Amino acid sequence: MNKIIKYTVLIFAIITMSCKDLLEVTPRQSLDTAVALNSQDGINAAVASAYANLKGTTIYGRDLLAIAECLSDNVRVIDRAGGRFVNEGQNVINNHLGGWARYYRTINETNLILKALPSSTFTQVQKDGIEGEMKFLRALMYFNLSRVYAYEPKVIVAQVNKGGVPLLLEGVDSPSQISFPERASVADVYAQIYKDLTDAVAKTPVAGGPNKATKAAANALFARVALYNQDYENAVKYATDALAGGVGRFVGNNEYVAAWRSNSNPESIFEVLFQTRQESLGVNDALQSAYTSIGSVSQASALAASRPTPLPVANGWGAVVPTTPFLALNVATDVRRGLYQDGLNRSGVVASECTKFLGKSGVVYMDNVPVIRVSEMYLIRAEANARLATPNLTAALADINIIRVRAGLAASTASTQAAVITEMETQRRLELAFEGHRWFDLKRWGRDVIKTTGNVAYGDTRTIAPIPNAEIIANKNLVQNAGY
């Protein structure tokens, strides 16, 4: 946990650089967070920093989408990126998702902000809003930590289960405050997430865009968490509330591809916002580069209309591409098929590539990343209704058909629970592809991952990620996951 302290001190030194009235504090490298957070400007800067953490490569900047897809059965990895993603695509042990330090850095920042709020000069309404936002972010971080490093509550493999993740709920800003907690149980981690999201739903602002936590975003995240927890009644409730929240809109068939060409996807209930050219992650680390060799929206449109000879020079690696079986699911009449097209010649290979991320801000290698979309809420509600103890197949099928018909497909007439669930899973796979869901869906369903590079049986060591060894060394109470 000592990394948390280093990151915290550094980040609050950076925060003060944006607050003129705090610049005279010395020494900068040992800034007391009580000083940094003793004004509205300081707290606002800290809030911005907490959101900015989501842009990191190990979280939504790339890995929580691209690496999760590599681990799944949606993609194949072409070795044309200097070996990048190959081991993850083959599920080689110790090649997995990560982000431990960045998740806990963000959690610590939210904790420090929550600690400073009561004595701040914000109005009570402002305090409540910031508290709701920070509890949303803390819940999101713990949810991601748990699904990367632990099992989901109802599909735990008891003989290899080592628990959830440590719960740190108090801000730490000096070495003397460091604690060395054990891993909480998965149930306790989810209980804390529920508690934070209950507060977030009550306190986040109703109005706002998708780049900040709103009541709609809190409801949407709660729906996802409840689905993972097989708490289907609450999944239905919160998905319904999210859809009624007024943030994000369900786009039609004729604007579906265009929605993915917009800087901000109109379906976004919550997204990670990249604003300045300096935030571009570059060819080696960007999500765009992982998925496609195409450099821009305009180049994608030009290539779709005509394939010149010779082809333009490739801009990205385009190493993480859809498998042939996945593309076969995505029939030509499906509007979503328009998001997959042949890319450029990279290392002597031309492949069909996903073009959901194309530097849509106008800056290559820089895309806003939808974290939660309206379409996912329909799919969550469909799955939850289909899996209720007393299934509501009519409601489930209605939501599935909202997705199917928008895609340009005929409405499904599935009539049994098994058939409805199968159709839901297919539409979920197609709709949310390359957004980082498939690996986690297979995991929460307790399924084996079947792929040509070698299957991963559920409960295999590779089902969950290894905790970084440095953290195991630093905290003698932290138990490593089985098999690592």
pLDDT of residue 17: 33
Tell me the CA distances in angstroms from 20 to 7, 46, 366, one per residue in order: 22, 14, 29
Q: Tokens 């690592």 map to which residue?
A: 484
User: Residue 449 and residue 70: Cα distance in Å, rounded?
Assistant: 11
Q: Tokens 């400007």 map to which residue?
A: 41
Interhelix angle 124-149/215-228, rounded to 10 degrees, is 30
pLDDT per position in the chain (484 positions), as tens? 444 444 443 333 333 333 333 323 233 333 345 558 989 999 999 999 999 999 999 999 999 999 999 999 999 999 998 999 999 999 999 999 999 999 999 999 999 999 999 999 999 999 999 999 999 999 999 999 999 999 999 999 999 999 999 999 999 988 889 899 999 999 999 999 999 999 999 999 999 999 999 999 999 999 999 999 999 999 999 999 999 999 999 999 999 999 999 999 999 999 999 999 999 999 999 999 999 999 999 999 999 999 999 999 999 999 999 999 999 999 999 999 999 999 999 999 999 999 999 999 899 999 999 999 999 999 999 999 999 999 999 999 999 999 999 999 999 999 999 999 999 999 999 999 999 999 999 999 999 999 999 999 999 999 999 999 999 999 999 999 999 9
DSSP per position, 150-186 = S--GGG--GGG---------S---SGGG---PPPPPH
pLDDT of residue 174: 85
Handedness of CA 153, 72, 271, 246 (dihedral sign): negative
User: Residue 253 and residue 256: Cα distance in Å, rounded?
Assistant: 5
Handedness of CA 285, 288, 293, 298 (dihedral sign): negative
3-state secondary structure 382-439: HHHHHHCCCCCHHHHHHHHHHHHHHHCCCCCCCCCHHHHHHHHHHHHHHHCCCCCCHH
Query: 151-188 burial by CB neighbour count: b if 16+ within 10 A, else e?
Result: bbbebbeeeebbbbbbbbeebbbeeeeeeeeebbbbee
- Given a contact cutoff of 8 angstroms between Cβ atoms, the answer to whether 291 and 357 are in contact is yes
Contacts of 395 (CB under 8 A, 6+ apart): 381, 382, 385
User: Residue 346 and residue 338: Cα distance in Å, rounded?
Assistant: 21
34-87: pLDDT as tens digits: 558 989 999 999 999 999 999 999 999 999 999 999 999 999 999 998 999 999
Interhelix angle 40-52/100-116, rounded to 10 degrees, is 160
Q: Which ranges constitute the DSSP H helices of 150-291?
A: 186-203, 215-228, 232-243, 256-261, 282-285, 287-291
Domain ranges of the chain: 2-256+372-458, 272-371
Contacts of 346 (CB under 8 A, 6+ apart): 78, 80, 293, 314, 317, 318
pLDDT of residue 35: 54
Q: Tokens 């450099």 map to which residue?
A: 295
Nearest to 272 by CA among 62, 107, 431, 41: 62
User: Residue 15 and residue 43: Cα distance in Å, rounded?
Assistant: 9
Peptide bond into 27 cis (omega under 30): yes
Helix, strand, coil percent values for the chain (each to nearest 5) = 55, 5, 40
Tell me the CA distances in angstroms from 436 to 2, 61, 287, 371, 482, one per residue in order: 30, 12, 11, 9, 24
pLDDT of residue 176: 86
Compute CA 229 distance to the chain's CA centroid, rounded to the nearest angstrom: 17
Q: What are phi and psi of 184, to 5 degrees?
A: -70, 160
- Given a contact cutoff of 8 angstroms between Cβ atoms, the answer to whether 76 and 128 are in contact is no
CATH of domain 2-256+372-458: 1.25.40.390
19-36: pLDDT as tens digits: 333 323 233 333 345 558
Q: What are phi and psi of 150, to 5 degrees?
A: -145, 175
User: Residue 269 and residue 249: Cα distance in Å, rounded?
Assistant: 8
Q: Tokens 């309404």 map to which residue?
A: 125
